[in-house]
Every structure is written in structure tokens, then in C-alpha cells.
Amino acid sequence: MPLKDERGKRMKRLICILLAALAAFSLTACQETPDEVIVVQKDSERMIEKAQSGEDNLEKENVPQTISHEFNRDKLNVTMDTVVDMPDNEMPIIQVQSADFTQEQADAFWDVLIGDTPMFLPGQKSRADIERQILNIEYILERETDSDTLAHFEKQLEIAKKEYETAPETADLIPADGQLEIQYVYGSDNDILTEYTGFRAYEDPENYFGKSFRVQNNYVNPIDGKPEIRGALMEYNTDLEDYQFYEEEVAIISDENAIPEEAENLTILPSEARIITEKLVSDTGVPFQAAKIKLMVNQNGEYAYLVDCQRVIDGIPCAIVSGLGVTYAEDADDYAAQWVYESFNVVVGNDGIITFRWNSPLTIGDLEASESAMLSFDNIMGIFEKMIPIMYEPESKDTQNNVTLHIDELRLELIRVLKENNIDKGIMIPVWRFYGVKTVSFTGNDGAEYTTFGERDCWLTVNAVDGSIIDLEKGY
């Protein structure tokens, strides 16, 4: 194998390990009432054209305010008892693109969350540390012949020599001011795997106690400069253990004017957590609104509220998609580029904000359609009744378990899908989202009946324009 190919594949393997890329995708659209969960066309332009010039059959005044409905398919039981939530505004289709955090955005959150707290940069290198790195790079350059790889390590050598000029004999603490700078991610051989703009700042960088704040913009390939991971992150914590509040959800808060009974350490109401979050949004000027509030618990048995926020575009709320990203590779050997869905959440406890995360910010572009022509509500409900058994009945047949799906939220929202054959750009489109709780009941080996803890999620996302089913893991 040529050395260039071997170096390229080695770099891809290293980056894959570092960034945990997933699988490939393609962008498509479906027929109005699909017979199975398979996307049969690849034509986002057709969908946009339909939204622009098609007949708008969604008569909002005729959509029922509440729905109570039930149907059964063998061992699948589906119930719906929900209010229908629709924005008053017209539903647009809008171009969006993955973005980096700007210095202005970083400054806004730094000022509100850090204020006058002294913060420091982590892990400063001494001259001896950098000298060892320079010797290692020079060793590689003496033996390398591939021109691309030579250029890569020559760049590293130039960077290391500049760092050496200003490096101290011993590593001391350097004050942090929240300024974005180019950062490098190094491999085991001290070669640069990837780079990004950002910073990490700690109140106590030696022990990682106290406040921490970081901005990590989109990863860029250090050799060709191409984007690799679209999922910039801004994060604040009051202590290292605060990460744990993201790990275990106890419940979604239904009564914001009462402290949950199990949350013995809390003295703050959920409604007060919402107010604190709304003030953070207002003070920083970001286009979000507080949505759901969840009760979280850490490994020490301490409780806090996690406030999920949703982006608002021209008065239209965008769907909250947690923990998912879309991946794409042009062929089987390519590193799979990834674009994470945007999320914005705040953890609040008795003393105020404990943690804050904003992941995968967006740049909002031009309108593709200002008033989307959409399917009738009856058509949407028909798609729901047809698709739910197709998607969830196999689970009951395969396991012989009884599956119950209870839909308690139905929302018309905007959601991001990918433009055709492109992971760099997307569009926000109107969708109907069916939220609820799924439980599974089964007979145990002892003959007793058991029911699993209810899993809450969105169980169906329907394109409001053409009726296609949106698969969030594929991005269309």
C-alpha cells in the first residue's frame, strides 16, 4: 500500500476513535402515505416546491383542540389523549447551516456566568515539554516522504517552535479571559489529529475544582482544512461533579409550582428554575425559550432541575432533539462527517445555575418558503394510524410482549433535515411530532406479569408538507 494511503487511513482511524463517528446517510422524501418505513425518493427540492406552490389543506381553525383516540393491533395498544399545540404564525421552510460560536456569544455567557471569578487556562507546557515534542516531529520529518504528510508535520513543527519561544521554564498558571484561539487535539505520537477554535478555563486547573467554562467549535481537519464534526459546544459547570446531573432523569415535571416529593434537598420550585433560565436567555440575547423541565439526580442522591430550551425562529418553536447526530461518508473508506442536532439546556439548583450547555449552534439563512402548503390534519392522522403499527407492531410480535403507546403531546414544530447529498447545509421544515410514553408488559419466567418503566420520547415525526416520515438518525 502506498505510504500516502497508509497515512491517510491511519489518520482516519485515529480521528474516528477520537470523535466516535457513526454511519452514512442520504436525504430523501416519501410518498404522502407510505406503506412501510422506507424512504423511496431523494428529492428535497420537490418537497420545497410543493411547500411553495402546492395547495394548503391545513385549516387550523378546524383542527381539534384536544384528541382522545384509541386503536389496537394484536399486541400493540395505542392511545391518544392530548392537546394539539400549533403556532399561530405561518410555518416556513428556512435554510440553516452549522455554525461556530462567535467571540460575541462567548463573551455574553462568560460575563453572565463567570463574572469576576478568576479563571485560568489548563495544562500549560514547559520548555522541556515542547522540546520533546519538537524532537519527535523532526524524527518523523527525517523519515517521511509523502508530500501531504510532510506539509502536515512541517506545520506542527512551526507551531511547536513558536510555542517554545514564549514557554516558561516551569509551567505556571495563566489567567484566562475567554478569548477564542486555535486549539489542537494531539494523538499518541504527538501528531495533530484535528483542530478547532475555542478555549478551556478553570477556577482551579490543577485539581479541577470550582467553576469551569469551555468553548469547543467545530473540528477541522488539520491537513486539508475541511470540516469534520459539526457540533460546536459551549459549556459551563460550577464543579466537575455537575456533569452527573445530565446522566439520570427521574421525571418530567408536570406541576411547576410544587417541589417533587422525592427531591428532599431542593428548596427551589420548578417555576423558579424556569425564571432563572429565562433570565439567562434574556441576558445573553439568544433565540431560545424555556420548554420542558426535568427532575435529575446525581450519584450522591442530590436533585436538580434540567430546563430544556428550544430555538425559536420568527415566533415558531423548533423541536428538541436530544443526543442525536447525522453522519455521512461518500464511500466506505471515508471518515464519516457528523452534524449533531442543536440542544440548549440549563441545570438549576437551590443556588441558581449549576451547569449550562449549548451544543451545535445554527446559522439561520434565507427562506425557502414563507408560508408552507401543508397536508390536512385528517391526512396527518391517517398517516399516524397507518405508520405506528408498521413501526412498533414488530416489537410486540417478535417478543410476544404487549406494547402500549400513549400519546399525550401533539405539536406542529420546525425540525432540521439535511439538504440533498449535503451534510454542510440543512433546512428547517414544519413537522407534526407525536410525543408520549411507551411501556412493555410481559410474563416472567415465574408466571407473574411485569411492566417496564415507561420510556418517554417522540414516537413519530411526520413531514407536514408531504407526509413523509422523518428519520432523525438519517437526517431526513
What is the Cα–Cα distance from 17 to 21, expressed in whole angstroms? 8
Round the average pLDDT of the chain to a whole number and report it.
84
CA dihedral 72, 467, 435, 421 (to 10 degrees): 130
The pLDDT value recorded for residue 451 is 79
The pLDDT value recorded for residue 40 is 35
Query: What is the pLDDT confidence band of residue 328, given thresholds at 50, 70 and 90?
Result: low
Q: How far apart are the first and last CA of the chain?
A: 37
Residue 22 pLDDT exceeds 50: no
Query: What is the pLDDT confidence band of residue 34, given thresholds at 50, 70 and 90?
Result: very low
Query: Strand locations in 6-149, DSSP E?
Result: 66-73, 76-85, 93-98, 120-121
The pLDDT value recorded for residue 106 is 98
Task: Determine what percent of the chain is predicted with pLDDT higher than 70.
Answer: 85
What is the Cα–Cα distance from 128 to 131, expressed in whole angstroms? 5
Q: What are all long-range contacts of 147-156, with beta carbons under 8 Å and residues at least 24 apart?
A: 148/4, 148/7, 148/223, 149/3, 149/4, 149/7, 149/223, 151/223, 152/191, 152/192, 152/222, 152/223, 153/191, 155/192, 155/222, 156/191, 156/192
Among 251-265, 290-304, 312-326, 331-345, the minimum mean pLDDT is found in: 331-345
The pLDDT value recorded for residue 68 is 95
Average pLDDT over residues 285-306: 94
The single-letter code of the amino acid at 83 is V
Residue 86 pLDDT exceeds 60: yes
Query: What is the pLDDT confidence band of residue 85, given thresholds at 50, 70 and 90?
Result: very high
The pLDDT value recorded for residue 280 is 98
Q: Give CA angle at 321 (316, 325), nearest 5°.
A: 125
Asked if 339 contacts 475 with a C-beta cutoff of 8 angstroms, the reply is yes
Write the pLDDT tens digit of every residue in 214-272: 999 998 877 766 767 788 999 999 987 777 888 888 889 999 999 999 998 999 999 99
Residue 378 pLDDT exceeds 90: yes
The pLDDT value recorded for residue 32 is 42
The pLDDT value recorded for residue 295 is 95
Residue 28 pLDDT exceeds 60: no
Residue 36 pLDDT exceeds 50: no
Q: List residues bridging with 2 in a β-sheet.
A: none
- 389 CA to centre of own chain: 28
Average pLDDT over residues 292-309: 93
Query: What is the pLDDT confidence band of residue 190, given thresholds at 50, 70 and 90?
Result: low
Residue 11 pLDDT exceeds 80: no
Residue 390 pLDDT exceeds 60: yes
Q: List residues bridging with 338 in a β-sheet.
A: 229, 327
Asked if 250 contacts 296 with a C-beta cutoff of 8 angstroms, the reply is yes
Average pLDDT over residues 151-176: 81
**131-160 core/surface letters (b: 16 or more CB in 10 A; e: else):** eebbebbeebeeebeeeebeebbeebbebb
Average pLDDT over residues 62-67: 94
Q: What is the CA radius of gyration of the chain?
A: 25
Query: What is the pLDDT confidence band of residue 352, given thresholds at 50, 70 and 90?
Result: very high
Q: List residues bridging with 404 in a β-sheet.
A: 77, 439
Average pLDDT over residues 142-166: 82
Residue 121 pLDDT exceeds 60: yes
The pLDDT value recorded for residue 203 is 93
Task: Determine what percent of the chain is predicted with pLDDT higher than 90.
Answer: 51
The pLDDT value recorded for residue 188 is 65
